[in-house]
Amino acid sequence: MDEAGEATEVTTTSSEADEWDARYKESERVWSGEPNGALVDEMTGARPGRALDVGCGEGADALWLARQGWAVTALDISRIALDRARVHADTEDVDITWALSGLLDAELPAGGFDLVSAQYPALRRTADRAAERALISAVAPGGTLLVVHHDIRDAAAAREHGFDPDDWVTPGDVAALLDDSWLTDVNEVRERSISGGAGAHHTHDVILRAHRLLPHRSHHTNQPRDQRPSLVEPRNLRFTNTSDAFEQPEQVQSGVKNDSEGVGVPEPGHR
């Protein structure tokens, strides 16, 4: 809420999507083409179900998840990024639905996904915590929430380059909203090693992995802290499909990544 008690709604304008399309046009590939390391580390071996990839970029994470057997819904506001992602996926027999949309505009069903993955998402921080709540709400009972961001170690230097870390949602912001229906498995800063891509200059990530407990469980159970949760069966969603993607909203909210200089909105290390 703002000071007047009104809910804050942040919607990405078409100009923001145009800016991302323009950036993707500058090179044939912006990201590394490899799945993000934290996703691979945290989700290898998990029983597949229905996954949401928030800000999917050129599709490397979505494709990796689909290869593991997940039914993936991949969101991004850049049509060019999604077109590239589809080209990569068309050569394989995988289950991916590409959606030209941001997180809030997608109108995700509550509890619709067994995994919600947000790898370096560009989600604006608002007074009503809309983005954080949307991520949390989308996870099914028994499902997993994985949020990863770069560890900005010199915020002052970032601000000098026009990027204020305080403007963007972090894994810590999401963790702060998890209630006793959740168990946090991982919440740490971890050194990263990547082969290339626009975010290769970042050396550490902040990683949050948590799972929503089934109704009959509580966080006082003796489940080992690092045990991968058993995921529930996929659910039917309320999206409207076209031949290639969901029905496109007229305006979409930010859910994509950022530039190689560490300014602007947060960026991923792989795509």
The predicted structure's pLDDT at residue 208: 98
Within a domain: 20: yes
| Residue 11 vs residue 118, higher pLDDT | 118
Report yes or no on 47 lying in a domain. yes
Look at residue 270 and tell me if it is in a domain: no
Do the beta carbons of residue 49 and residue 72 sit within 8 Å? no
Within a domain: 179: yes
The pLDDT mean for the chain works out to 77
Domain containing 116: what range?
Answer: 14-212
Compute the distance between CA of residue 219 and CA of residue 232 in angstroms, rounded to an integer.
18
- Determine contact, residues 58/270, Cβ cutoff 8 Å: no
Radius of gyration of the chain (CA): 17
Is the pLDDT score of 107 beyond 70? yes
Q: Residue 164 pLDDT > 80, yes or no?
A: no
Q: What is the DSSP string of 76-111?
A: ES-HHHHHHHHHHHTTS---EEEEE--TTTT-PPTT
| Residue 232 domain-assigned (yes or no) | no
* Confidence at 225, pLDDT banded by 50, 70, 90: very low
- Rounded Cα gap, residues 58 and 64, in angstroms: 12
Stretch 232-257: mean pLDDT: 39
Q: Whole-structure pTM over 0.95, yes or no?
A: no
pLDDT at 141 over 80: yes
- The count of structural domains within the chain is 1
* Closest among 124, 129, 114, 108 to 166, alpha carbons compared: 124
Neighbours of 65 (CB within 10 A): 28
* H-helix segments, the chain: 14-25, 37-43, 60-67, 79-89, 130-137, 155-160, 171-175
CATH at 142:
3.40.50.150
Asked if the structure places residue 140 within a domain, the reply is yes
